[in-house]
Amino acid sequence: MNLIRVELHKMLPYRTVWAILAIFVVLMLLILYAGSEITINGQELGEQMYDLPKFWQILAYIASFFNMLFGVLLIVLVTDEYTFRTLRQQVIDGMSRAELVLAKFYVVLGLGAFATVFLLVLGLYFGLLHGQNHSANAVFGQIDHLSYYYVQTVGYMTLAMLFGFLIRKSGLAIVAFIAYTIVVEPIIHFRLPDSVDKFMPVKALKSLTPMPGQEVLDQLTTPSEALPLPWAVLISLVYIGLFWFLSYFTLKLRDL
């Protein structure tokens, strides 16, 4: 694939990419090590936490904190192309606008795959080393949480890509992306009934990695309504398609 080769040429020597991936890797390891030290009621959480198959969901949930980080990376990669005017040069040299968006979408898929494979390695390492149950049933029982995580991180990055193409300036795009995902949409959630806001993009994406033990919490408080997983996947895929199309539309309508 020519587009993938072009993107790899740009990314592999780029320090920012490696720095952000390194931050993700280091912080994930740190959280997992620290997590086992947490003591509740005089009992270390450690051994329980790494128990497969539950561990997959915990991993996906922890990793979901770093979606913002990947979003920022995508915004940097997209807005760079405006700053360096390379988007313009690539169109002059023969790429279509659809290919520009497609190339960045491949980057999204690739980074998502990297993160997911990293989670798989983490899960197997910690699960097999510290977990109790090593039967195949236990190890691969709930591994589908990784695929939900994949859809989620791809969703966040595609949204970030849209912000990048739309706003063009990296600083502004990053602020707008973070503001939308953690301030604006949650505020809208307050004003809307759960039955409606569960379909909103950030909430639908979030419901892909439910918090472990949410069921227990729901019994104590009024449960907040979220999409069941298969539905969340479907809605998320629709949003990913929509963000992709809006990015393309932005390029189509604007001068480069």
Partner 1 sequence: MQITLSACQENNSFILYFVAGFSNLLYNKHPKPVAVILQTEQLNKRYGGIQAVDRLSLQVEQGSIYGLLGPNGSGKTTTLGMVLDVIRPTSGSFAWFGQPVSRTTKHRIGALLETPNFYPYLTARRNLEIAAEIKGVDHKRIAQVLHLVGLSQRSHTTFKGFSLGMKQRLALAATLLNDPEVLVLDEPTNGLDPEGIAEVRELILQIAAQGKTIILASHLLDEVEKVCTHVAVLQKGMLRAEGRVDTILSAKDQFIISARNLPQVLEVLKQLPFVAAYQPEGEAVNLTLNEGYGSADVNKAMFEAGVVLQQLTLRRKSLEAQFLEIIKSQA
Q: Which residues bind partner 1 (CB under 8 A)?
A: 2, 5-6, 9-10, 13-15, 80, 84-86, 88-96, 253-256
84 versus 245: smaller Cβ distance to partner 1: 84
Q: Which is nearer to partner 1, 92 or 187 (CB)?
A: 92
Residue 86 and residue 92: Cα distance in Å, rounded?
A: 10
At closest approach, how far in Å is the CB of 252 from partner 1?
A: 9
Is the Cβ of residue 200 or residue 256 nearer to partner 1 in the bound state? 256
List own/partner pairs for 222-229 with CB under 8 A and 24 or more apart. 224/194, 225/194, 225/195, 225/198, 226/198, 227/198, 227/199, 229/148
Record the tokens describing residue 176, joined without a space. Answer: 């707008």
Shortest separation between residue 161's beta carbon and partner 1, angstroms = 18
C-beta of 62 vs 100, nearer to partner 1: 100
Q: How far is the CB of 7 from partner 1 (least distance, A)?
A: 9
Q: Which residues contact 94 (CB under 8 A, 6 or more apart)?
A: none
Shortest gap between Cβ of 165 and partner 1 (angstroms)?
15
Select 5 or 134, whichever has its Cβ closest to partner 1: 5
Residue 96 beta carbon to partner 1: minimum distance, rounded to whole angstroms: 7
CA distance 203 to 185: 8
